[in-house]
Structure 1
Amino acid sequence: MQDEDYMSQLSFGNDSALDALVFRYHKLVYGYAYRLLQDEKLAEDIVQETFLKIYQQGKKGCVPEQFKPWMYKIATNGCKDYWKKASTQREHCMDKSLEGMEGIHHIIDRQLERKWMIDSLNQLSFEYRSVLYLRFYQDLKYAEIALTLDIPVNTVKVRISRGLKYLERILKHEDREGVKGQ
């Protein structure tokens, strides 16, 4: 069954349709929210809010033309709302333990590279970071990203292009700093 069909089922009172959507998308939405917020609990809260809104809209009979971009739009707005809160202070937990990985150098190297990339991505503004995550981590097409973020497709293309250029500068700068520090 298509995602949009599940939304229709919600409007007819079939609450188990939400279970199918949660099963299909929970991990993806969580990964997206976590990458944007860098906090497991907040990411889980965003996921719950996202599926609650999907459920509420489904009960009202709302069936989006394209479910996936609509769902990511809800999650993106939840992340934006978090960032807009004046009292919000981001805390970075840079000390992640690598317990249990002694002797597995290739796994550690990949984890460190991944952390380096995510830390670099997180230096970008939200508008560039969100399009890059949606494109490269969530594998959305330009048109889907445009629907998700309520921006024109050309703006998506520009933000991806500029975001990649800014990311390249950040990575080159950090690479030079790493060479100097050795």
Structure 2
Amino acid sequence: MHDEEYMQQLSLGIDTAFDALVFRYHKPLFGYIYRLLQDEKLAEDVVQETFLKIYQQGQKGFVPDQFKPWMYKIATNTCKDYWRKPASRLEYVTDQDIEKAGQVHHIIDHQLERQWMVESLNQLSLDYRTVLYLRFYQDFKYSEIALALDLSINTVKTRIARGLKQLENILVTDERKGASGNE
């Protein structure tokens, strides 16, 4: 069944349709949000808040034309709301343990190169990071990214190109630092 059909059922009061959406999207949505926020507990809270908003919209009878980009738009905006809250930002962002916790959390990811890439991506601005995560980690098409972030396709293409260029510069710089440190 298509996601939009589940939303249609939810709008008719069939709550099991919502369960199917949560089952289908919890893991990829968590991965996307975690990559943006680098905090496991906060990412889980944002996932729950995102699904709550989806449920509430479904109960009101709203059925999006394309569910997946709409859902990621809600998730992205919820992350942006977090960044706008000064108290939350101080609690999480100024904590120097975030970097260590992020490294420890990825015990599953024993691949140092992957961690290096994630750390490099996290040096990018939120605008560039978001489009790159949606494109390369969530496998979104440009049109889906545009819908999810409420941007034009040209803006999406520009942000991806600029983000990749900045990422390349970061990786080259890090590689040079590593090479000079080993001599």
TM-score (norm 1): 0.91
Q: How big is each residue's C-alpha offset from its partner over 1:18-48, in whole Å with a ceiling of 9 and x where there is no partner?
A: 1000000000100000000001001100110
| Superposition deviation, residue 97 in structure 1 | 4.5
CA distance in 2, matches of 1:97, 1:16: 36
Instruction: Return closer, same or farther for 1:97/1:128 CA change in 2, 3 Å cut-off.
Output: closer
Partner-residue secondary structure (3-state), 1:94: helix
> What does 1:1-182 correspond to in 2, within 5 Å?
1-87=1-87, 88-89=89-90, 90=93, 91=95, 92-94=98-100, 96-97=103-104, 108=110, 110=111, 112-182=112-182
Indicate the SS of the match to 2:64: coil
In the alignment, the residues of structure 1 paired with residue 181 and residue 171 of structure 2 have an alpha-carbon distance, to the nearest angstrom, of 15
Q: Distance in 2 between matches of 1:113 and 1:82?
A: 29
- Distance in 1 (CA, whole Å) between partners of 2:47 and 2:100 is 23
Instruction: Give 1:139 shift.
Output: 0.4
**Structure 2 unmatched runs, 5+:** none
Cα shift at 1:93: 3.1
Q: CA RMSD in A?
A: 1.6
Aligned-partner residue type, residue 10 of structure 1: L
Determine helix, strand or coil for the equivalent of 1:44: helix
Secondary structure in 1 aligned to 2:99? coil
Counterparts of 1:160 and 1:153, CA distance in 2: 11
Q: How many residues align?
A: 174
CA distance in 2 between counterparts of 1:39 and 1:126 reads 15
- Rounded to whole Å, the distance in 2 between the matches of 1:173 and 1:74 is 35
In percent, how many aligned pairs have the same letter? 66
Structure with the bigger percentage of helix: 2
Q: CA deviation at 1:85?
A: 1.2
TM-score by length of structure 2 reads 0.91
Cα 1:97–1:61 change in 2 (3 A) is closer
